[in-house]
Amino acid sequence: MTGPVIILRPGDSERLARLHVRAFANPWSRADFEALLETPSTLGLGIEENDSDLAAACLVQFAADTAEILTLATAPGQGRKGLASTLMECAIRRAGERGIARFLLDVAEGNDAARALYRRHGFVEDGRRRGYYGPGRDALLLSRTLPA
């Protein structure tokens, strides 16, 4: 069982870092998350797996009329339950409330799961950063316009 969407605070940095270790080959550290969540322009959203672990989390940074998804992860074993979709829908709703016009993110070209997720949520490819994740590993730039 997982819980509802919660707002993440700097005190959640340790469990965010643990989730990142489970989800990514190059995870961010507790200090990385703490610095981001101490920034007022960053919104952290999470879904708890239990009292100490997160099942999924998403960090969004707002700048002027754009929002950027900094990171999004679901714990292995919790995939395909709609957790990432729930967080994305919450982030998009909150962005709309702030008058955000455009959502941005980047994704590794070879990350088929994430690309399928973003496609499903209306993101389209509008750029590429060659070698962003290492030699021959490009990042795709995706965006989605929000209704005015």
Ligand X SMILES: CC(C)(COP(=O)(O)OP(=O)(O)OC[C@H]1O[C@@H](n2cnc3c(N)ncnc32)[C@H](O)[C@@H]1OP(=O)(O)O)[C@@H](O)C(=O)NCCC(=O)NCCS
- 56 near ligand X (CB under 6 A): yes
3-state helix, strand, coil in the chain (%, to 5): 30, 35, 35
- 100 near ligand X (CB under 6 A): no
- 23 near ligand X (CB under 6 A): yes
Select the residue interacting with ligand X from 100, 107, 139, 146 (CB under 6 A): 107
Q: Hey, CA dihedral for 75, 76, 82, 84, is it positive or negative?
A: positive
Task: Give the residue from 112, 116, 114, 94 showing the smallest Cα distance to 103.
Answer: 94
The nearest distance, CB 32 to ligand X, in angstroms, is: 15
Residues that bind ligand X (CB under 6 A): 23-24, 56, 72-74, 79-85, 107, 111-114, 116-117, 120
